[in-house]
Structure 1
Amino acid sequence: MYYEEEPYLPTHPTNMALSERYWLSSKGVSIYVNETNPLFLDQNNYRDNYLCLIAKNKAPYRHRDSVQLNYELGVFLDPKTAHQYMVKTHLGKPTGRPDKRMIQHPIWSTWARYKANVTDKIVETYADEIIANKFNNSQIEIDDKWETCYGSAVFDPIKFPNVTALVQRLKQKGFRVTLWIHPFINRGCEPAYSFALRNNYFAKNLDGRVEMSWWQGAEAATIDFTNPKAVKWWVDRLKFLQKLGIDSFKFDAGEVSWLPQVANFSGSLDMQPGIFTKAYVQTLATNFNDYIEIRVGWRSQELPIFVRMIDKDSRWTWNNGLPTLITTLLQMNLNGYVYVLPDMIGGNGYLDGSLNGTEYPPKELFIRWLQANVFMPSLQYSFVPWDYDKEVKNLKNSF
């Protein structure tokens, strides 16, 4: 892997949703860098086969008067002993377990199969297919484009004319219902955007600006999860969705690279900007139940919730394809995140990289993906076995 002075924080361009400052070698040598240092990672750049750790005053970190690189070097007889020591002294362990049903039975998501084309009829038809094909469920998850606009936290009344009735029917069919949530509000999504802006609920940069962009919004802003008033307002809106019958949530994003740069938060300067990710995840774990899922982490290994892998592509290759299920799982585990939720079985099926186009994974790729996932903590379908043939559908009887 190649990195050229990459800021070592939860960032999306390099898929570093988890970026714990811990390295372990097969010879039993460990490195741990203090979380307060403005750390950059340089790998196979200055020198081949070398890891270079750099601390400097440079974005996305805020300027500080004194720059230090504080690290701990451990030398042990073997990597197992080294890792056990790191777990005990730095990484810690989860304080409990996530929801058992998410481990016992599959999660069913609308995302890969339908992308943003969700409606109440599509969701219910999907649920009926799952039942007709005699599959169990832990929950069914309604993904992107359920809102009137991104960040409104209000169901689109055309797509979902009666949410309460839909949820009740799904529960009668034996499903729990979860909803995709993100921490952004698009400019023009009213009245949410203006209300949050007026009350200083958005994360700001050093110039006081809130503008940022994300994959579904060229002009948007991010909720400041270090602001207790902003957190209460944002959480209350989700609690209202739960009053409609929504059981839990799939939380997306949370990396500091989605913030206006250079981000400026209250609290310790030395912990910025990583404090944003930690505050975001802590908010979710504290205010919602144990069958949420998140996709980021920064010093949050103690939380007993599922952490989802970043979207995988429907490929055989090492370029974010099938083999990277294994490496991602191992990396997350080594960094102390043991409750790993693999992404959709078969990958996301992006057509030419588009968020809206769908290309189904080939049958063999789907089968191999499913076989790998069976040995991981949880199964998550979007593409389904009956999209193929009886052979794939009957595979569940062999596990």
Structure 2
Amino acid sequence: MLLRKGRLCANQTIKVLNMKNTGLLLLTLLLAVQLSWSKEPQLPPNRGIELPQMWKFHPGDDQEWAKEDFNDADWAEIRVPQFWDSQGFDQLDGFAWYRVRFDLPADYLSEDLVAILGQINDADETFLNGQRIGRMGNIEISESAHKFTRKYPVPRRLLKPKNNLLAVRVCDLGNQGGIFRGPMRLVKKSNFADYQRPAGLKPPLAPKWAFEPWIWEDDENSAAAVKDLVAGYARNDIPVGVIIIDSPWASAYNTFEFDSTKYPDPADLIRSLHERNIKVVCWFTGMINTDAPTYDHARANNYFLNDGEVVGWWKGHGSHIDYTNPEAIAWWHRQMDKAFQLGIDGWKVDNSESYVPDFSKCFRGEISKREYTDLYYCDAYRYTVTRNPNAITLARSVDYLDREFDPEFSPVSCASTTWVGDQHHDLSERGLQLALRNIFKALAVGYAFVGSDIGGFSGGPALTKTAFLRWAQFSAFNPLMMNGGVGEHRPWAFDQETTDIYRYYAKLHSELVPYLYSYAVESHRTGTPIMRPCESGKWQFLLGNEFFISTMYQDTTAWKVELPAGKWRDYWDESTTYCGPQSLAMAVPMARYPIFLRSGAIIPLLVKDSINGHGTKASQSFLTLLVYPDGNSEFKYHPDSDSDVLFTCAQLPAGLQIGFAPLNSDLLFRIHQTTAPTAVRLKSGSDLPAWSDFDAWEKAATGWHFVPSSNKLLVKCGGRTADVVQVE
């Protein structure tokens, strides 16, 4: 805002704000109105209605002008968006009103809308059909909000088919005034976020290790706390593949140097975690706080947005790195290198961009909030994989709690792993159900690797055993299974039953890594998400093509499942099959979850023990494949990003054939079959030996064994060359 002498808002005492106070006042304003901040939406034609360009306009101030029955026939007409100064009102400072009428199609009357009114210099109150729907800026204390795009919720009860009236009361504090920058649109609330992602963007591929279970905690940040947490999971035989060292770990925000009082030997800590096959991810944002030892250097060299304007944010006061400044980014990367040199495996890239205005001054001139957000997340991801191609960044994908009308954070193309922000410690609409809303929106946008904090991050009631376990069971079938947050999240702190149940699902998630990674490769190639929402039921989804999950989001052990089309096996009783679509009323005790396997499925697993009944410790030397024969089926397995190994299964009148392409692994097939075969042989020519004793079969390199109690035919063979297993 540029102030000059002139006529100011009538009947108001105007205080000229100094630049030191402006940032704090704007932050207070934005928190008060609870509006999202983002760049100007560039919506597809079918994602909004353009408002008329010509509006009625009149200087002055009268609340009667908000009313529908007011006659504005003698008012001037001006173009919107465009400063009023360039349209014959160059001497106007103070109040003026805009009015425009419009009709709505029928499909816009059945749900809430969002009114996107661009940027207004300086403050506004906006009314629809006589009812105020929003305001920004504080006219009473001469506070400008000219940097921020207006996005106001419009309840459906205010809408009508014809002659809707939008009235905007504007106060200009000096210099140019009015609605000066678009867009000017009405958008369905359900479609509001869809504009942000260009069609065709595909997610990057996360490394295999990222699909292992994650842990972290937010109550104590120290090397001792990290070691204690990891030791607790090991003591309870719960697998861990990744740990996040969350804030505050650095000496200041964001120096990228470990606080030596909390982490006296970070290199040794990281090395010890790697020896346990646990990857290490550290937290950061794009801010440098004023108390950081690097702040003055960065400010002196113009490495910040908005000439180093100090912004209050949730970790103190600091300034935003200017991602358009090549010199600033080269320096920023050198700071990140301090942690890379210690061997970390990636970053949790957290939200600081919400504190960036809609438009900011930057090295190249001006940058929108959305552009800045994309640069922030993409620079973090791209530099990270440049340093280590097997590293990741964890970023928010969708978070409606933080940004109701603009919920997306990292661009899909720079989102190797994502979570959906902060939820309460319960199953409510601020807890698990909010996580579900965010995850399903993220899937619709195109994110591949999604998940949430099991049990919620913070807030609401204390985390209960039921909420914790139902959330953990759901998360076991997300690409990201991550447990941590404020308050108690350690399974063994609840009771032994909780520990046993959590262990089962964490091990199942770990076993599923070959399956999840194979679908991640497909998602990277095609853009199809790993989790695939179903049309029937609420928050039901397919995990890949072989699993169907009905999410339990209420405290109950009785659940109604809306089974999709197809033939499905009950995971807990594989001999029981259902033909969908149909509704099922199921008893679901706490240890179980509504899990179904597609008949005909071929599912690759990495089995490490006998906890889940999919093998034993001896299975670690093999790629295990669960096979549920039904006609002809196939699965494309990806041992790495460049390899395709096709498994096929064909039922024949005289038996079964399972074919496979060569891969660098021996194979263990667990085939659902109700009768023992007479013979099992490889098409290449050799008969596989039959073993009547399970222990003898397990010690042997090849052969088959039938288990009548579980209807399982177990077959071991080499997988180095292409072949076909023939079951007769």
Report the equivalent of 1:94: 202
SS at match of 2:432: coil
Aligned in 2, Cα 1:120/1:299: closer, same or farther, shift over 3 Å? closer
1:251 aligns with 2:353: no
Q: CA deviation at 1:92?
A: 2.0
Report the equivalent of 2:499: 393
Report the equivalent of 1:60: 147
SS at match of 1:141: strand
Aligned in 2, Cα 1:15/1:108: closer, same or farther, shift over 3 Å? farther
CA distance in structure 2 between the partners assigned to 1:336 and 1:12 by the alignment:
32
Structure 1 segment 188-207 matched on structure 2, within 5 A = 188-190=291-293, 192-204=294-306
SS at match of 2:254: coil
Specify the code of the residue in structure 2 equivalent to 1:301: V
Specify the code of the residue in structure 2 equivalent to 1:329: I
Q: CA deviation at 1:244?
A: 1.3
Give deviations 1:23-60, integer Å, cap 9, x for gaps. 99xxxx941699xxx9xxxxxxxx99441443433333
CA distance in structure 1 between the partners assigned to 2:263 and 2:208 by the alignment:
30
Structure 1: give runs of 5+ residues left out of the alignment.
Answer: 1-10, 39-46, 74-78, 353-358
Question: Greater RCO between the two (CA within 8 Å, min separation 6)?
Answer: 1
Residue in structure 2 matching 1:316, options 407, 422, 427: 427
Query: TM-score, normalised on structure 2?
Result: 0.43
Give deviations 1:145-188, integer Å, cap 9, x for gaps. 11222222221111111111111112122211111111112112
When structure 1 is superposed on structure 2, of 62-71 and 51-60 the one drifting more is: 62-71
Structure 1 segment 133-144 matched on structure 2, within 5 A = 133-144=236-247
SS at match of 1:341: coil
Aligned in 2, Cα 1:66/1:148: closer, same or farther, shift over 3 Å? closer
Give deviations 1:52-90, integer Å, cap 9, x for gaps. 4434333335999974548899xxxxx9xx9xxx99x93
Specify the code of the residue in structure 1 equivalent to 2:199: L
SS at match of 1:278: helix
CA distance in structure 2 between the partners assigned to 1:188 and 1:268 by the alignment:
28
Does the 8 Å CA contact 1:295/1:310 hold for their aligned counterparts? Answer: yes
Aligned in 2, Cα 1:253/1:101: closer, same or farther, shift over 3 Å? same
CA distance in structure 1 between the partners assigned to 2:48 and 2:363 by the alignment:
26
Report the equivalent of 1:283: 379
Which of the two has higher C-alpha Rg?
A: 2
Does the 8 Å CA contact 1:203/1:263 hold for their aligned counterparts? Answer: yes
Report the equivalent of 1:210: 309
1:168 aligns with 2:278: no
CA distance in structure 2 between the partners assigned to 1:225 and 1:132 by the alignment:
44
Q: CA deviation at 1:315?
A: 2.6
Report the equivalent of 2:477: 375
Specify the code of the residue in structure 2 equivalent to 1:280: Y
Report the equivalent of 1:3: none
Pick the structure with more helix per residue: 1
Give deviations 1:235-281, integer Å, cap 9, x for gaps. 221122111122211111143x3126752234575x61321101101
When structure 1 is superposed on structure 2, of 195-204 and 181-190 the one drifting more is: 181-190
Does the 8 Å CA contact 1:21/1:32 hold for their aligned counterparts? Answer: no
SS at match of 2:413: coil
Report the equivalent of 1:327: 437
Give deviations 1:317-372, integer Å, cap 9, x for gaps. 21x21111211111122222232232x2111244x8xxxxxx85111110111122
Pick the structure with more strand per residue: 2
Q: CA deviation at 1:142?
A: 0.7
SS at match of 1:340: coil
When structure 1 is superposed on structure 2, of 230-239 and 12-21 the one drifting more is: 12-21
Report the equivalent of 2:323: 225
Does the 8 Å CA contact 2:394/2:418 hold for their aligned counterparts? Answer: yes
1:293 aligns with 2:404: no
Does the 8 Å CA contact 2:424/2:431 hold for their aligned counterparts? Answer: yes
Does the 8 Å CA contact 2:37/2:369 hold for their aligned counterparts? Answer: no
SS at match of 2:119: coil
Does the 8 Å CA contact 2:469/2:498 hold for their aligned counterparts? Answer: yes
Aligned in 2, Cα 1:268/1:374: closer, same or farther, shift over 3 Å? farther
Specify the code of the residue in structure 2 equivalent to 1:99: P
Does the 8 Å CA contact 1:15/1:310 hold for their aligned counterparts? Answer: no
Report the equivalent of 2:334: 236
Does the 8 Å CA contact 2:242/2:279 hold for their aligned counterparts? Answer: yes
Does the 8 Å CA contact 1:224/1:231 hold for their aligned counterparts? Answer: yes
CA distance in structure 1 between the partners assigned to 2:352 and 2:266 by the alignment:
27
The sequence identity of aligned pairs, in percent, is: 21
Aligned in 2, Cα 1:307/1:177: closer, same or farther, shift over 3 Å? same
Query: TM-score, normalised on structure 1?
Result: 0.75
Aligned in 2, Cα 1:30/1:379: closer, same or farther, shift over 3 Å? farther
Specify the code of the residue in structure 2 equivalent to 1:60: K
Structure 2: give runs of 5+ residues left out of the alignment.
Answer: 1-30, 51-80, 82-108, 121-145, 150-175, 386-390, 398-407, 509-728
Report the equivalent of 1:366: 468
Does the 8 Å CA contact 2:322/2:363 hold for their aligned counterparts? Answer: no
Specify the code of the residue in structure 2 equivalent to 1:216: K
CA distance in structure 2 between the partners assigned to 1:302 and 1:33 by the alignment:
28
Specify the code of the residue in structure 1 equivalent to 2:323: F
1:346 aligns with 2:455: yes
Aligned in 2, Cα 1:145/1:54: closer, same or farther, shift over 3 Å? closer
Aligned in 2, Cα 1:15/1:212: closer, same or farther, shift over 3 Å? same
Q: CA deviation at 1:106?
A: 0.8
Report the equivalent of 1:337: 447
When structure 1 is superposed on structure 2, of 55-64 and 294-303 the one drifting more is: 55-64
Q: CA deviation at 1:305?
A: 0.9
Does the 8 Å CA contact 1:146/1:155 hold for their aligned counterparts? Answer: yes
Specify the code of the residue in structure 1 equivalent to 2:392: Y
Aligned in 2, Cα 1:261/1:273: closer, same or farther, shift over 3 Å? closer
CA distance in structure 2 between the partners assigned to 1:15 and 1:139 by the alignment:
35
Aligned in 2, Cα 1:48/1:72: closer, same or farther, shift over 3 Å? closer
Aligned in 2, Cα 1:19/1:379: closer, same or farther, shift over 3 Å? farther
CA distance in structure 1 between the partners assigned to 2:229 and 2:37 by the alignment:
30
